[in-house]
Amino acid sequence: SRVRDMFEQAKKNAPCIVFIDEIDAVGRSRGVGYGGGNDEREQTLNQLLVEMDGFEANEGIIIVAATNRPDVLDPALLRPGRFDRQVQVPNPDVKGREKILGVHARKVPLGPDVDLRIIARGTPGFSGADLANLVNEAALMAARVGRRFVTMEDFENAKDKVMMGAERRSMVMTEDEKKLTAYHEAGHAVVGYYVPQHDPIHKATIIPRGRALGLVLSLPERDQYSVTYTKYKSKIAMAMGGKVAEELIFGKENITSGAASDIQQVSKIARAMVTQFGFSDALGNVDYANEQQSYLGSYSGGGNVSPETQEKIDEEVRKLVDEGYAEAKRILTEHADEHHRLAEALLEYETLTGPEILKAMKGEPIHRGDDDDETPAPSTPSITAIPKTKKPKSKPGDDTGGMEPEPT
Ligand code: ZN
């Protein structure tokens, strides 16, 4: 009945647009799932189909729906006369991100140093929702220190939080764990620096974030639409750099389970190279993955590939990973000095930016504004905070009187 009501209203208000978000909630294929399906949902879907059929072309109602899962929709929904046009909306490019940031930042008072274009450039791969989250987090960072506007540094900290997870400074790590993490992450970074075509390294940290004990983040300089064979191989080598570092410094018998997610990532890349991108001469340009691939790209293996082929796939995947491991080992052996220096710097400063990583590797001193042992607290404002009681000067771009950062 709610579907009927909706269409009644639409007819009354025609011409109009009906927008249904997350259409897959009601639009999933009928007759699948437990117990033959969900009655209420199926009735809703049936009614929707009926209403869409009942339309006269001249009624002036346009129905638009959105979903992340076009693959699970009931085929009847996609027939001509119903949702018969599909528009793919990929993640925004750098221009799109700047505009989206502009929309979300409208209600947030921005400091004079904030340049949305720079933020857009530093967030490749972010979706619209990620960007909304970023602005929100930045506003919260400013609010937390009682500042009435959001600075570029807030955005930088918010970006780290969104990309790497929240810092868990309270997590207790022993000195040994810290040292191991420092060498592990330094291993990633040094290999990442020396492999060809790798994205510049943005940050390295040994402060636990989310579920990771440490992290090295590299960021592409621009939006990427295709990736070369060499770059994939470099990614594998860099991901192996952590485990290789543990092995070289602490010995094979002291390797930890900390490389599990690295290994997961490496296997995924190597498998995709072999089964999807035609990067293996032995297997040629055949798509072995698509048949068994779910929409979101997870590979389930097996399927209708012959056992011999499957064996060959495994062999080739293994070869790519082994080559990456060897490459990482070569780099970390040849550049052992840089590896040591970077690990030491990480132990001292805990978090290093891209330029600081380079300095540390070269053995140049890292200058930080404050000379205490602590890493600069993320809340340190780069611009003097305006006391809450004082009325801030109005800045260009602030059209309304609402000066509070508004988490939405
Ligand atoms: Zn790692």
For 11-39, what is each residue's pLDDT tens digit?
888 889 999 999 888 888 776 655 555 67
pLDDT at 33: 53
Average pLDDT of every residue of the chain:
81
CA 239 to ligand 1 centroid distance, Å: 6
CA 212 to ligand 1 centroid distance, Å: 9
Task: Kindly list the distances between the CA atom of residue 68 and the CA atoms of 38, 72, 100, 274, 296, in Å, as whole numbers in the listed order.
Answer: 21, 9, 19, 27, 10
- State both tokens at 62: 């346009």
CA nearest neighbour of 180 among 408, 32, 343: 343
Task: Give the CA radius of gyration of the chain.
Answer: 26
CB atoms < 10 A from the CB of 74, how many? 22
Can you tell me the mean pLDDT for 303-319? 86
- 371 vs 193, which has greater pLDDT? 193
Contacts of 315 (CB under 8 A, 6+ apart): 282
CA 210 to ligand 1 centroid distance, Å: 14
pLDDT at 295: 41
156, 167, 185, 327: the catalytic one is 185
pLDDT at 244: 95
Q: Is 185 a catalytic residue?
A: yes
In percent, the amount of the chain with pLDDT more than 70 equals: 82
For 315-356, what is each residue's pLDDT tens digit?
999 999 999 999 999 999 999 999 999 999 999 998 898 899
CA 167 to ligand 1 centroid distance, Å: 17
The DSSP annotation for 155-208 comes to HHHHHHHHHH--B-TTS---HHHHHHHHHHHHHHHHHHHHSTTPPPEEEEE-S-
pLDDT at 318: 95
Q: What is the pTM for the complete model shown?
A: 0.66
Contacts of 344 (CB under 8 A, 6+ apart): 182, 360
For 189-218, what is each residue's pLDDT tens digit?
999 999 998 888 888 988 887 767 888 888
